[in-house]
A and B are shown apart, each in its own frame.
Chain A
Amino acid sequence: EAGVVQSPRYKIIEKKQPVAFWCNPISGHNTLYWYRQNLGQGPELLIRYENEEAVDDSQLPKDRFSAERLKGVDSTLKIQPAELGDSAVYLCASSPGGEGSEQYFGPGTRLTVT
């Protein structure tokens, strides 16, 4: 069974440019998460989807970040415009949902903003 797929794996952009990340969760997983992991830190939740509905986006900086999960499967996370402080690893995870269900993480996209 394929794991969580993310692309691209690495992205380097100049500040003020837009950037988008893509995530394909494990088949059948209803819950999808986007995390940001700064260097030397643990992941921090940006947004959580239950199917196509964003149920927790309180940590998403909505002035520049947006996300969507059309059809409740793949998801994209966009930053426009990017700032130097956005440099981080963006992790996608999915889970079947329900009590205590395990989250499966993708390898992440490492974003460098210059």
Chain B
Amino acid sequence: GEDVEQSLFLSVREGDSSVINCTYTDSSSTYLYWYKQEPGAGLQLLTYIFSNMDMKQDQRLTVLLNKKDKHLSLRIADTQTGDSAIYFCAESSGGSYIPTFGRGTSLIVHP
């Protein structure tokens, strides 16, 4: 099975909160990341969390980590149309800090 799994699509109404979920298999993961990819662009790191943390908040973004269940989530508060993009969950372990990516969740924000 895949090392990092996430649902492929999420549709929300503008102004609502979005929650994108991710599960991973590597129990030795050190860093867990959320990247955003807009059409025709490269990936942009949104936020990351160290594996000994369980929550990180940055403005409209909240990351929750359940290390026991190997579950990571990204909550976007007050979702805007500009948030429409593909969101990738990723994890890295060991000393190379090279992320292993999931397949991405396509977030669609409609008025």
Interface residues of A (CB under 8 A from B): 4, 33, 40-45, 48, 56, 91, 93, 99-103, 105-108
Contact = CB atoms under 8 A, between A and B. Distances in A.
B90 A106 contact: no
Q: Which of B4, B8, B41, B42 has the most CB of A within 10 A?
A: B42
Contacts of A40: 8, 103-104
Interface stretch (B52-60, B64-72, B74-82, B93-101): B93-101
Given A42-B90, A100-B48, A102-B45, A107 B103 contact: no
Q: Interface of chain A, helix or strand or loop or mixed?
A: loop
Contacts of B88: 42-43
A43 B43 contact: yes
Contacts, number: 46
A33 B101 CA distance: 14
Given A41-B103, A42-B103, A42-B104, A33 B98 contact: yes
28 contacts: A4-B42, A33-B98, A40-B103, A41-B101, A41-B104, A42-B88, A42-B101, A42-B102, A42-B103, A43-B43, A43-B88, A43-B101, A44-B101, A45-B98, A56-B98, A91-B42, A93-B42, A93-B43, A100-B48, A101-B97, A102-B45, A103-B45, A103-B99, A105-B43, A105-B44, A106-B42, A107-B40, A108-B41
Nearest to B42: A105
Q: How large is the interface on B (under 10, 10 to 19, 20 to 34, 35 or more residues)?
A: 20 to 34
Nearest to B6: A42
Contacts of B48: 100
A107 B42 contact: yes
A108 B99 CA distance: 17
Contact of A56 (B8, B45, B50, B96): B96
Contacts of B45: 102-103
